[in-house]
């Protein structure tokens, strides 16, 4: 199988999470689709690094870090804050003249062009962060009640909210990259907000909705991964055909 062309899927975590949130995905995907979670500074294996609260700066850092791994087809995936980070990363890669992703997958996050991030621009109190965690319905009550664990998690979550608040679309031109958006039918992120992603691509666009609240990627993991895998397979097949076309022309 070593000669099989593989697609690398860079995955960006949601607020408060680490690269470990995609651990199950690495075991679930077929061999040709390699899940590559990106660890952000200040968490997981990068716990000794300072937390970042400036999105353009973090995207520039990540672009530099993964530049050597763009020697094969790849795509970007992000859930919630991770979807916005994936968008910022795609622009940072374009600014550097690096190969573009075959696709950008944005999950449970409003389109960048018209979103209002002003509520995230000011640091939240612990009480406000706890309220938000309960609203998102993605954290077990046992975790919320664990004061020691929350003492570790809240600074990360606070920095991530500021990270979101630092985002500015600034009227950037659309990406020449297909954008596939996933949403939860019971999520507070509305369909019209998900459809706003259309203005940021001059290529293909799709929207798929799943049962569940903000963390439907956990509740609906199997159908979500099946859908993601189908899109990824289509883009990789298209990429293979594009690579083969110049060779076929040369042999004529």
Using CA atoms, how far apart are residues 83 and 78, in angstroms rounded to an integer?
A: 4
**pLDDT per residue over 76-87, tens digit each?**
999 999 999 999
78 in Cβ contact with 11 (< 8 Å): yes
Assigned domain for 34 exists: yes
- Residue at 191 is within a domain: yes
- Active-site pick, 15, 21, 53, 80: 80
In a domain, 240, yes or no: yes
Q: Structural domain tally of the chain?
A: 1
The answer to whether position 147 is within a domain reads no
Residue 184 lies in a domain: yes
Reported as a single tens digit per residue, the pLDDT across 132-143 is 878 776 677 777
Residue 152 belongs to a domain: no
Residue 130 belongs to some domain of the structure: no
Q: Is 80 an annotated catalytic residue?
A: yes
Residue 73 structural domain = 7-117+170-250
Among candidate residues 34, 29, 85, the one with its CA nearest the CA of residue 55 = 85
| 223 found inside a domain | yes
Over residues 58-62, the mean pLDDT reads 97
CATH classification of the domain holding 217 = 3.40.50.1820
The answer to whether residues 236 and 153 touch, using CB atoms and an 8 Å cutoff, is no
Beta bridge mates, 175: 201
What are 76-126's pLDDT values in tens digits?
999 999 999 999 999 999 999 999 999 999 999 999 999 988 888 787 888
């Amino acid at each position: 199988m070593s000669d099989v062309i593989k697609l690398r899927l860079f995955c960006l975590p949601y607020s408060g999470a680490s690269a470990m949130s995609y651990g199950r995905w690495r075991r679930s995907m077929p061999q040709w689709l390699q899940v590559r979670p990106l660890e952000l500074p200040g968490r997981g294996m990068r716990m000794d690094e300072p937390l970042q609260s400036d999105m353009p700066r973090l995207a520039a850092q990540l672009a530099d870090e993964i530049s050597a791994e763009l020697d094969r087809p790849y795509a970007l995936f992000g859930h919630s804050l991770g979807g916005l980070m994936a968008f910022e990363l795609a622009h940072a890669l374009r600014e550097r003249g690096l190969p573009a992703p075959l696709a950008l997958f944005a999950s449970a996050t409003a389109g960048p062009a018209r979103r209002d991030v002003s509520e995230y621009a000011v640091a939240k109190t612990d009480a406000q962060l706890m309220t938000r965690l309960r609203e998102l319905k993605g954290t077990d009550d046992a975790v919320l009640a664990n004061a020691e664990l929350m003492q570790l998690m809240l600074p990360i979550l606070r920095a991530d909210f500021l990270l979101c608040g630092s985002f500015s679309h600034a009227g950037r031109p659309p990406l020449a990259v297909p954008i596939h958006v996933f949403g939860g039918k019971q999520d507070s992120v509305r369909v019209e907000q998900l459809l706003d992603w259309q203005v940021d691509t001059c290529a293909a666009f799709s929207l798929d909705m799943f049962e569940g609240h903000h963390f439907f990627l956990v509740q609906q993991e199997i159908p979500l991964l099946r859908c993601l895998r189908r899109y990824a397979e289509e883009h990789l097949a298209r990429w293979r055909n594009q690579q083969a076309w110049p060779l076929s022309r040369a042999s004529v």
